[in-house]
């Protein structure tokens, strides 16, 4: 803020400077050179007057420069802190992203492993069932042969025990099984042991 006193000092300094400039401009030139003759006393007097008028302004200027330096230093420090904080946050985000990426990789690996394991279990289960069915089929075939052999043996023994006039004519039947069919006339020769 410019006060009336400061304004008057500025006018006084400008006036002294103008007088000094005029003194130099009107100085006599030394013959055969570019130098001029300046009255030393007058120049020193004007410079002393300017110097006496400026101390307050110089102190204020120095204060402004000092404040400016402190302000800039503070801004540099704050700026450096902001940059450091931003760098730390960026590194944290990178770490979090890396952790998420690694977790995603692990999850994908586990999913693929589980898929392969499920596929393997399905194959092993299908193979096991197939083998059991084959084994059961063989067992059924064997039992069928045993039953058929037992059945033929029983039929043979049964027919041998019948009286000759009771033996049916085999040629009348296309299959011996039909001879012992439940609808056959031989039912009279068969009995249910559970009914005894």
pLDDT for residue 189: 46
Q: CA of 167: how far to CAs of 174, 189, 193, in Å?
A: 16, 11, 22
Q: In this predicted structure, which of 53-62, 76-85, 132-141 has the lowest mean pLDDT? A: 53-62
Burial of 16 (0-12, 13-18, 19+ CB in 10 A): buried
Mean pLDDT of 21-30: 81
The predicted model scores a pTM of: 0.33
What residues does 36 pair with on adjacent strands?
Answer: 29
- Write the pLDDT tens digit of every residue in 150-164: 888 887 777 776 655
The CA distance from 71 to 3, in Å, is 25
- Percent of the chain scored above 70 by pLDDT? 75
């Amino acid at each position: 803020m410019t006060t009336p006193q400061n304004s008057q000092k500025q006018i006084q300094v400008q006036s002294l400077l103008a007088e000094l400039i005029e003194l130099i401009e009107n100085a006599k030139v030394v013959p055969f050179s570019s130098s001029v003759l300046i009255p030393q006393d007058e120049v020193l007097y004007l410079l002393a007057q300017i110097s006496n008028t400026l101390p307050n302004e110089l102190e204020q200027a120095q204060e402004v420069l000092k404040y400016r330096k402190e302000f800039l230093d503070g801004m540099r420090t704050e700026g450096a802190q902001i940059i450091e904080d931003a760098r730390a946050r960026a590194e944290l985000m990178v770490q979090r992203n890396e952790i998420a990426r690694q977790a995603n990789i692990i999850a994908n690996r586990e999913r693929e492993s589980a898929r392969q394991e499920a596929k393997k279990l399905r194959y092993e289960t299908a193979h096991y069932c197939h083998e059991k069915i084959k084994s059961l089929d063989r067992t059924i075939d064997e039992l069928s042969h045993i039953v058929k052999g037992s059945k033929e043996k029983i039929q043979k023994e049964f027919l041998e025990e019948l009286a000759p006039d009771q033996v049916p004519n085999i040629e009348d039947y296309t299959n011996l099984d039909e001879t012992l069919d439940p609808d056959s006339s031989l039912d009279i020769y068969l009995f249910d042991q559970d009914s005894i």
